[in-house]
Amino acid sequence: MLPDIGEGIVECEVVTWHVAEGDTVEEDQTIVDVMTDKALVEITASEPGRIVRFHYAQGENARVHTPLYAYVPDEEAEAESAESTESGVTAPERKQAQPEYLSENRQEGDGKSDNRSGQDGRHGESRPRIPATPAVRRLLREHQLDIQAIAGSGRNGRVLKEDVLAYLKQSETRETDVTPDDAHKVGAAAETDKAAAEACAVASDVVSDEVRSSRLEAKAVPLKGVAAVMARRMVQASTQIPHFHYGDELDITDLLALRARLKVRAEQQGIRLTLMPFIMKAMALAVIEEPILNARLSEDESEILYQGACNIGMAVDSASGLMVPNVKGVERLSILEIAREVGRLTEAARSGRVAPADLKGGTLSISNIGALGGTYAAPIINQPEVAIVALGRTQRLPRFDGEGNVCARDIMTITWAGDHRIIDGGTIARFSNLWKHYLEHPDEMLLSLS
């Protein structure tokens, strides 16, 4: 059954089946990826068994609480196999004798009945179950390893991540021990590959004109998943919210120097320290002085709802579309804690596997468009928030110092968009000036940290 994923989602797109009909699967093994309106979600096996049938093909929309796939648990598969052997009836014959059993139960939505139907007679040998976490089993699948081949060092023989990594390291060591005969074979293979490459080069010259002429093709691609939600929400926000924009520039020369000094220490803890944690922390401190930037308008537009935590979102250009995961409670976190969350959310968003909880509850948003290029942008507010800032590209530009001398400074342009229903120009200017002051004088920002 497709479980209730929450957020009021009633259907999901089936993106990728990771197994085939007839495959034997382990508990917690990833069966299928489904795309909701907000993120890619993994559906895993609840118990060991054998996949019998898929009820949806890739690209189709599956509704919540309807059968997603049929499977036979290990115990039942073994019992039915033994029964068919004793009676002299093979599993394919049994399937032909009950042709409507699976479809009848699919219409009724009885997932357990599905599990007992449609056998194709294939099953794996019974093996003792070796304990391991889903993450370890995923690592084993990625490297196409059999868990039986790895000695578990955990309690009750549990296979740990360290066991898998040690096994992979030993395998690499064995592969590097090449005998003279092996070296001769490798050399011959290299000559063969070189000849094949030359032949491909000649062939590519012949078809290059044909390839160039076929780079563009007319086609219609359905708008669905995250892209469809983004399209709908952008239209809704741009038409319902009266946007106004406020631009400025930040001198982040001193901030870059501070980050450079702290970067090594962060790397020692396995954290990649960018400018984003400083930008978020300064924003949370400025919110304390101007809390209306952290508010939202009620649905009937009769109240301003001030939020009790500063959850700052960051727009991420993922493969499946624009996502805005947010760091929760930035006002309570240290710079390193924010950096760790930024790294986690960025990686999750780019892989399309953001948890629904990371996508909801945002109170302010940042669009770091300057990381890709561009100096200015006019961002659209992430409703129901009331403000968003776009960060431009950092440039080394000439500026006058206090004594009138020209010097090189690192300048970042920023553009705010505010909801003019509850924010006026003076409010966002005061907020932006305080935020700017913290970023241009990071030593003073330290004095404001609680």
Query: What's the CA dihedral at 340, 440, 307, 295 to 10 degrees?
Result: -130
Catalytic residue among 18, 243, 245, 420: 420
Q: Which two tokens stand for residue 364?
A: 């302010």
Q: What is the CA radius of gyration of the chain?
A: 29
Angle at 78 between CA 74 and CA 83, to 5 degrees: 150
Q: Look at residues 28, 33, 25 and name the one whose alpha carbon lies nearest to residue 56.
A: 33
Bridge partners (DSSP) of residue 367 are 390
Q: Which helix (H) or strand (E) holds 390?
A: strand 387-400
Q: Hey, is 415 helix, strand or coil?
A: strand
- Catalytic annotation on 146? no
The pairing of beta strand 11-17 with beta strand 30-35: antiparallel
CA distance 137 to 152: 13
Q: Which residue has the tokens 């939020």?
A: 307
Q: Look at residues 415, 411, 414, 417 and name the one whose alpha carbon lies nearest to residue 440.
A: 411
Side-chain-side CA neighbours of 390 within 13 Å: the count stands at: 21
Length of the chain: 450
CA distance 340 to 175: 36
CB atoms inside a 10 Å sphere around CB 428: 24
Catalytic residue among 4, 182, 193, 424: 424
- Catalytic annotation on 401? no
What residues are annotated to the active site?
A: 420, 424
